[in-house]
Amino acid sequence: MKFHREGKLTITLCLLFVVFVNAGMWLINPSMGIANIIALVLTLGLLYIILQFFRNPPRNTVPNTEHIIAPADGKVVVIEEVEEPEYFKGKRIQVSIFMSPFNVHVNRYPIAGTVSYAKYHPGLYLVAWHPKSSTDNERTTTVVKDAQGREVLFRQIAGALAKRIVQYSKVGDTAVQGGEMGFIKFGSRVDVYLPLGTKINVKLEEVVRGGETPIAQFQ
């Protein structure tokens, strides 16, 4: 299993914690009693969870200029027409994907093109399904313009558990469809804003895979 570079420090610290706790328990009670076994099980369980957070499995993105690919693993929780106030300042179709703590947390470019806008916003840590999380939480906004001049905006949003968002995108960068554009530690959500008239290929509660599932297509 391959692990993401964003987890390097956290995994190392967790490994040291596991070794420290279990070595200490062994020094206190070399007979490997029930307390030692409980400590071993709990610390190894914690390590397993941390490793799950930072796993980075390979994804097979099939490039398609008409498809908008899921930027994250998770479940579709919003499909609606909304007003996008930051960049487009007009109506767009919003598709939101909720990432649980057990999903892969790598975020990927939904289309190929050039990054035309990238901004980080500090903010709150409301639960990801809160109506104001898209505008009040810590978040990033990235816009990619494709060769046909079509723009897609996607927003990484922190939640009550996710306390660190990593945004790799910078204005002028070349975006490769399915390529890594960021990481959200320990879950939350990603909102995608699409032009009106875009055909939506997913339904509410549908589970999608980042870099693989075509959530929509241009018309």
Report phi then psi at 127, rounded to 5.
Answer: -60, 145
Q: Which residues on adjacent β-strands are paired with residue 84?
A: 90
Q: In whole angstroms, what is the distance from residue 185 CA to residue 54 CA?
A: 8
> DSSP of 102-169, one letter per residue?
TS--EEE-SS-EEEEEEEEE--B---TTSTTHHHHBSEEEEEEE-TTS-EEEEEEE--SS---EEE--
Strand pairing category for 180-184 and 165-167: antiparallel
Catalytic positions, please?
188
CB 169 within 8 A of CB 153: no
DSSP code of 5?
G
